[in-house]
Structures are given as C-alpha cells and as structure tokens.
Amino acid sequence: MNDLVIKKPPLPWWAAGLMLGLIQILAVGLNGPLGVSTQFVVADARIITQMAPEYAQNHPLISQEKYQKFGYGWWLDIGLIAGAFAAAVLSWRWRLRLTTIWWQTNRGKSIGRRLITGFIGGFLILLGARFAHGCTSGNFASGWAQLSLSVVPFTITMFVFGVITAFVVYPKAANFEK
C-alpha cells in the first residue's frame, strides 16, 4: 500500500484560507454568516410535510417557516454543490472514487466497510450538527467570526472527539505530497 500518496490540493493553505475568509466576509456583509446543515432538516421537513401534513403542522420545529421554505440557505447549499463540481471539473480533478487513501492505508480494500462507516458517520455528523445548532461552517467558522459563546464548547468537543476517533480508526500514517 506504500504507493498510495495523497495529492497536494490545488491551492496552498494561505490562499485557500484567505479565499474562504473573504467569502465569509462577503456573506456577513450581504446576508448572514455561512451555514450548511440546517438545509438537511429543511429537505426532510418538506418530505414529512408531504407525507404526514398533520404531524408537520404540529411539530414545534419543522412547522416553523424557516424549515418550510427553500430560501437563501437552501440556494447556498445548491450553489456549494455546483461550485465544488465546477472547481473539480475545471481543475481536472473530478474522479469517481469509492474510498480514501487513509482508509486504504489502514483498513485495506474493503469498499463496503468504508461506505457503511461513511453512512454511520454522516448520521452522527448531522444529528450532532443540529444538536449543536450548527456544523463546522455555521457553528465553528461563523461562531468564531462572531465570537459567540457557543463556539467554545463546540470547538473543544468537536476537535477532541474528532482527533480521538481519527487516531482509533486510522492508526497508521498515510503518505502525502509535501
């Protein structure tokens, strides 16, 4: 597995960070800080409203207007998908992939287990993000931008549990381009 090497991203860290920071400033100036995870609840809420309208109407969360309409935040997520797709295609890096190099280095070729782990991970990510009122964008990045109190417990628990989990799941270091 030693021939597996993680490619360098197209942009250096400082340029990428600067770009992301400027986008955050643009968002704060024009509408509000960046956030992504609310729209997963919006999508589910719309489906529930179709299938069980009475349940949705009486639900303390999804009956709220914010969770019933496709607004700015929804289109931000659609734009995010389109922007990432365009960037991947234009940088000649769009590729069908089923697993990662860290996974192959530590867990071998099992695609099935990577996908099952991915599904469970996704479940925990969104459940956690909504418990916390925001994800890595809306709570962490935007929380620090606004110096909210909530960013402190979020940053601590997310990184502590993230680092521990990564050490447990990926004990063997993968190779990467400097």
Partner 1 sequence: MDMLGFLIGGLFGAALFLGGLAEPDKIIGTLRLKDFHAMRTIAVFVLVGMLGTWFLDMAGVANFSVKPAAILAVSIGGALLGIGFGLTGYCPGTGLACAAAGRIDALITVLGMFLGALVFILIYPSIVVHVDAVANRGKVTLPEVTGISKAVWVWGMVAAGALVLILTSGKLQKTKSA
Contact at 8 Å (CB) between 73 and 98? Answer: no
**Burial of 98: CB neighbours in 10 Å, binned 0-12, 13-18, 19+:** exposed
Cβ 9 to partner 1, closest distance in Å?
Answer: 3
Find the binder of partner 1 among 53, 57, 61, 110 (CB under 8 A): 61
Q: What is the DSSP letter of 91?
A: T
Q: Closer CB to partner 1, residue 53 or residue 163?
A: 163
Cβ at position 14, least distance to partner 1 in Å: 6
Tell me, what DSSP letter sits at residue 69?
Answer: S
Nearest residue (CB) to partner 1, 9 versus 108:
9
| DSSP reduced 3-state for 175 | strand
Contacts to partner 1 from residues 135-154, by CB under 8 A: 135-154
Question: Going residue by residue from 81 to 120, which x/- string records binding to partner 1, judged by CB under 8 A?
Answer: xxxxxxxx--x-xxxxxxxxxx-----------xx-xxxx
State yes or no: residue 14 binds partner 1 (CB under 8 A): yes
Q: For 35, phi and psi rounded to 5 degrees?
A: -165, 150
**DSSP code per residue over 152-172:** HHHHHHHHHHHHHHHHHH--S
Which residues 20-39 are close enough to bind partner 1 by CB under 8 A?
Answer: 20-37
- Number of residues located near partner 1, criterion CB under 8 A: 133
Closest distance to partner 1 from the beta carbon of 29 (Å): 5
